[in-house]
Amino acid sequence: MCPHCRRQLAWYENIPVLSYLVLRGKCRTCKNPIPKHFIFVELGTALVFVLVAWHSLGSPELVPAVFFRNIIFSILLIVIFVYDWLYQEILPSVVWLGALVGLGFNIYLGYSLLPMLIGLLVAGGFFWLQYAISKGRWLGGGDVRMGFMMGIWLGWPAILLALFLSYVSGAIIGLLLIATGKKQLSSSVPFGTYLATATFVSLLWGKEVISWYMNFLH
Protein backbone atom coordinates (compact mmCIF):
# COMPACT_ATOMS: atom_id res chain seq x y z
CA MET A 1 0.00 0.00 0.00
CA CYS A 2 0.99 3.65 -0.33
CA PRO A 3 2.31 4.84 3.08
CA HIS A 4 0.63 8.24 2.54
CA CYS A 5 -2.91 7.59 1.24
CA ARG A 6 -2.91 3.89 2.31
CA ARG A 7 -4.38 2.80 -1.00
CA GLN A 8 -3.80 -0.87 -1.81
CA LEU A 9 -1.37 -1.07 -4.75
CA ALA A 10 -1.99 -3.15 -7.87
CA TRP A 11 0.57 -5.85 -8.74
CA TYR A 12 1.97 -3.75 -11.57
CA GLU A 13 2.74 -0.91 -9.15
CA ASN A 14 4.90 -3.34 -7.15
CA ILE A 15 7.40 -4.53 -9.75
CA PRO A 16 10.88 -3.96 -8.29
CA VAL A 17 12.74 -0.96 -9.77
CA LEU A 18 10.52 -0.75 -12.90
CA SER A 19 7.39 0.49 -11.10
CA TYR A 20 9.39 3.11 -9.23
CA LEU A 21 10.84 4.43 -12.51
CA VAL A 22 7.53 4.31 -14.43
CA LEU A 23 5.70 6.07 -11.56
CA ARG A 24 8.63 8.53 -11.33
CA GLY A 25 8.91 7.90 -7.59
CA LYS A 26 5.38 9.11 -6.86
CA CYS A 27 2.11 7.47 -5.80
CA ARG A 28 -0.33 7.27 -8.75
CA THR A 29 -3.29 8.71 -6.79
CA CYS A 30 -2.00 11.01 -4.03
CA LYS A 31 1.24 12.06 -5.85
CA ASN A 32 3.25 11.86 -2.62
CA PRO A 33 6.83 10.60 -3.05
CA ILE A 34 7.52 6.86 -2.62
CA PRO A 35 10.20 6.61 0.12
CA LYS A 36 13.65 6.50 -1.55
CA HIS A 37 14.81 3.46 0.39
CA PHE A 38 12.50 1.21 -1.67
CA ILE A 39 14.51 1.63 -4.87
CA PHE A 40 17.81 1.25 -3.00
CA VAL A 41 16.62 -1.97 -1.35
CA GLU A 42 15.37 -3.31 -4.70
CA LEU A 43 18.61 -2.52 -6.54
CA GLY A 44 20.68 -3.74 -3.57
CA THR A 45 18.80 -7.06 -3.47
CA ALA A 46 19.44 -7.59 -7.19
CA LEU A 47 23.15 -6.85 -6.69
CA VAL A 48 23.38 -9.23 -3.70
CA PHE A 49 21.71 -12.06 -5.66
CA VAL A 50 24.07 -11.51 -8.60
CA LEU A 51 27.07 -11.69 -6.23
CA VAL A 52 25.78 -14.95 -4.66
CA ALA A 53 25.24 -16.50 -8.11
CA TRP A 54 28.66 -15.27 -9.31
CA HIS A 55 30.28 -16.77 -6.20
CA SER A 56 28.59 -20.16 -6.75
CA LEU A 57 29.47 -20.26 -10.46
CA GLY A 58 33.09 -19.40 -9.64
CA SER A 59 33.43 -22.15 -7.02
CA PRO A 60 35.47 -25.27 -7.93
CA GLU A 61 32.31 -27.39 -7.64
CA LEU A 62 28.76 -26.13 -7.74
CA VAL A 63 26.88 -27.29 -4.62
CA PRO A 64 23.17 -26.36 -4.97
CA ALA A 65 22.62 -26.48 -1.18
CA VAL A 66 25.38 -23.89 -0.66
CA PHE A 67 23.78 -21.62 -3.27
CA PHE A 68 20.31 -21.89 -1.66
CA ARG A 69 21.79 -21.43 1.81
CA ASN A 70 23.60 -18.27 0.69
CA ILE A 71 20.45 -16.89 -0.97
CA ILE A 72 18.39 -17.49 2.21
CA PHE A 73 21.17 -16.02 4.41
CA SER A 74 21.31 -12.98 2.09
CA ILE A 75 17.55 -12.37 2.31
CA LEU A 76 17.74 -12.46 6.13
CA LEU A 77 20.78 -10.14 6.09
CA ILE A 78 18.96 -7.66 3.83
CA VAL A 79 16.01 -7.63 6.27
CA ILE A 80 18.38 -7.07 9.22
CA PHE A 81 20.39 -4.41 7.34
CA VAL A 82 17.36 -2.36 6.23
CA TYR A 83 15.35 -2.70 9.45
CA ASP A 84 18.28 -1.67 11.67
CA TRP A 85 19.15 1.20 9.31
CA LEU A 86 15.55 2.55 9.34
CA TYR A 87 14.41 1.72 12.89
CA GLN A 88 17.64 0.99 14.88
CA GLU A 89 16.46 -2.45 15.90
CA ILE A 90 17.61 -5.96 15.02
CA LEU A 91 14.46 -8.09 14.92
CA PRO A 92 14.85 -11.07 17.33
CA SER A 93 12.52 -13.31 15.27
CA VAL A 94 14.68 -12.89 12.14
CA VAL A 95 17.90 -13.64 14.04
CA TRP A 96 16.55 -16.75 15.82
CA LEU A 97 15.12 -18.02 12.54
CA GLY A 98 18.50 -17.37 10.90
CA ALA A 99 20.36 -19.23 13.65
CA LEU A 100 18.09 -22.29 13.31
CA VAL A 101 18.09 -22.35 9.49
CA GLY A 102 21.88 -21.84 9.48
CA LEU A 103 22.42 -24.71 11.91
CA GLY A 104 20.20 -26.97 9.77
CA PHE A 105 21.97 -26.09 6.52
CA ASN A 106 25.47 -26.42 7.97
CA ILE A 107 24.69 -29.83 9.51
CA TYR A 108 23.16 -30.95 6.20
CA LEU A 109 26.32 -29.77 4.39
CA GLY A 110 28.40 -31.91 6.76
CA TYR A 111 30.18 -29.08 8.58
CA SER A 112 31.39 -30.07 12.03
CA LEU A 113 29.77 -28.58 15.10
CA LEU A 114 32.92 -27.50 16.94
CA PRO A 115 33.84 -24.51 14.68
CA MET A 116 30.21 -23.34 14.87
CA LEU A 117 30.22 -23.64 18.66
CA ILE A 118 33.51 -21.71 18.94
CA GLY A 119 32.20 -19.05 16.53
CA LEU A 120 28.98 -18.72 18.52
CA LEU A 121 30.85 -18.40 21.83
CA VAL A 122 33.44 -15.95 20.46
CA ALA A 123 31.04 -13.53 18.73
CA GLY A 124 28.10 -13.87 21.13
CA GLY A 125 30.42 -13.83 24.15
CA PHE A 126 32.37 -10.79 22.90
CA PHE A 127 29.16 -8.80 22.33
CA TRP A 128 27.57 -10.02 25.54
CA LEU A 129 30.66 -8.91 27.52
CA GLN A 130 30.39 -5.38 26.08
CA TYR A 131 26.65 -5.39 26.70
CA ALA A 132 27.16 -6.44 30.33
CA ILE A 133 30.02 -4.00 31.06
CA SER A 134 28.23 -0.99 29.50
CA LYS A 135 24.80 -2.07 30.81
CA GLY A 136 23.47 -1.93 27.23
CA ARG A 137 24.86 1.51 26.30
CA TRP A 138 27.49 0.34 23.73
CA LEU A 139 25.56 -2.56 22.31
CA GLY A 140 21.98 -3.77 22.48
CA GLY A 141 20.61 -7.24 23.14
CA GLY A 142 19.93 -7.48 19.39
CA ASP A 143 23.66 -7.28 18.66
CA VAL A 144 24.36 -10.11 21.14
CA ARG A 145 21.77 -12.36 19.46
CA MET A 146 23.17 -11.40 16.05
CA GLY A 147 26.63 -12.45 17.29
CA PHE A 148 25.29 -15.94 18.10
CA MET A 149 23.73 -16.22 14.65
CA MET A 150 26.90 -15.03 12.89
CA GLY A 151 28.99 -17.54 14.86
CA ILE A 152 26.78 -20.45 13.74
CA TRP A 153 26.73 -19.27 10.12
CA LEU A 154 30.43 -18.52 9.69
CA GLY A 155 32.15 -20.68 12.31
CA TRP A 156 35.71 -20.34 13.46
CA PRO A 157 37.92 -18.66 12.14
CA ALA A 158 35.75 -16.78 9.55
CA ILE A 159 33.84 -15.17 12.43
CA LEU A 160 37.00 -13.23 13.34
CA LEU A 161 37.05 -11.67 9.87
CA ALA A 162 33.37 -10.68 10.19
CA LEU A 163 34.01 -9.01 13.57
CA PHE A 164 37.09 -7.24 12.22
CA LEU A 165 35.23 -5.97 9.12
CA SER A 166 32.26 -4.78 11.22
CA TYR A 167 34.43 -2.65 13.48
CA VAL A 168 36.71 -1.30 10.74
CA SER A 169 33.84 -0.38 8.37
CA GLY A 170 31.86 1.07 11.29
CA ALA A 171 34.84 3.22 12.33
CA ILE A 172 35.62 4.44 8.79
CA ILE A 173 32.02 5.28 7.85
CA GLY A 174 31.38 6.78 11.31
CA LEU A 175 34.42 9.07 10.93
CA LEU A 176 33.33 10.06 7.40
CA LEU A 177 29.84 10.95 8.67
CA ILE A 178 31.32 12.99 11.52
CA ALA A 179 33.79 14.71 9.13
CA THR A 180 31.01 15.65 6.72
CA GLY A 181 28.90 16.92 9.63
CA LYS A 182 26.12 14.37 9.10
CA LYS A 183 26.56 12.85 12.56
CA GLN A 184 28.01 13.74 15.93
CA LEU A 185 30.31 11.57 18.03
CA SER A 186 27.43 10.83 20.40
CA SER A 187 25.03 9.67 17.67
CA SER A 188 24.32 5.98 17.87
CA VAL A 189 25.34 3.89 14.87
CA PRO A 190 22.99 1.16 13.62
CA PHE A 191 25.58 -1.56 14.23
CA GLY A 192 23.37 -4.26 12.69
CA THR A 193 23.84 -2.77 9.22
CA TYR A 194 27.63 -3.14 9.56
CA LEU A 195 27.29 -6.64 11.05
CA ALA A 196 25.03 -7.71 8.18
CA THR A 197 27.42 -6.37 5.52
CA ALA A 198 30.48 -7.93 7.19
CA THR A 199 28.65 -11.27 7.53
CA PHE A 200 27.81 -11.24 3.81
CA VAL A 201 31.41 -10.51 2.78
CA SER A 202 32.81 -13.16 5.17
CA LEU A 203 30.23 -15.72 3.99
CA LEU A 204 31.25 -15.42 0.33
CA TRP A 205 34.94 -14.55 0.52
CA GLY A 206 35.99 -15.44 4.10
CA LYS A 207 38.18 -18.40 3.12
CA GLU A 208 40.00 -16.43 0.40
CA VAL A 209 40.64 -13.42 2.62
CA ILE A 210 41.91 -15.56 5.53
CA SER A 211 44.26 -17.64 3.34
CA TRP A 212 45.53 -14.47 1.63
CA TYR A 213 46.24 -12.99 5.08
CA MET A 214 48.02 -16.16 6.25
CA ASN A 215 50.25 -16.13 3.15
CA PHE A 216 50.91 -12.46 3.71
CA LEU A 217 52.16 -13.21 7.23
CA HIS A 218 54.54 -15.98 6.13
Number of residues that bind Zn ion (CB under 5 A): 5
Q: Which of 4, 26, 55, 183 binds Zn ion (CB under 5 A)?
A: 4
Q: Which of 2, 101, 117, 209 binds Zn ion (CB under 5 A)?
A: 2
Please check whether residue 157 is in contact with residue 210, taking contact to mean a CB–CB distance below 8 angstroms. Answer: yes
Work out how close the CB of 6 gets to Zn ion at its nearest, in angstroms, rounded to a whole number.
7
Asked if 146 touches Zn ion (CB under 5 A), the answer is: no
Site string for Zn ion, 10-49 (x = CB under 5 A): -----------------x--x-------------------
CA geometry: angle 104, 107, 110, nearest 5 deg: 150
Nearest to 146 by CA among 105, 93, 185: 93
What Rg, from alpha-carbon coordinates, does the chain have? 19
Work out how close the CB of 52 gets to Zn ion at its nearest, in angstroms, rounded to a whole number.
34
Distance CA 160, CA 99 (A): 18
Work out how close the CB of 25 gets to Zn ion at its nearest, in angstroms, rounded to a whole number.
12
Distance CA 153, CA 105 (A): 9
**Residues lying near Zn ion in the complex (CB under 5 A):** 2, 4-5, 27, 30
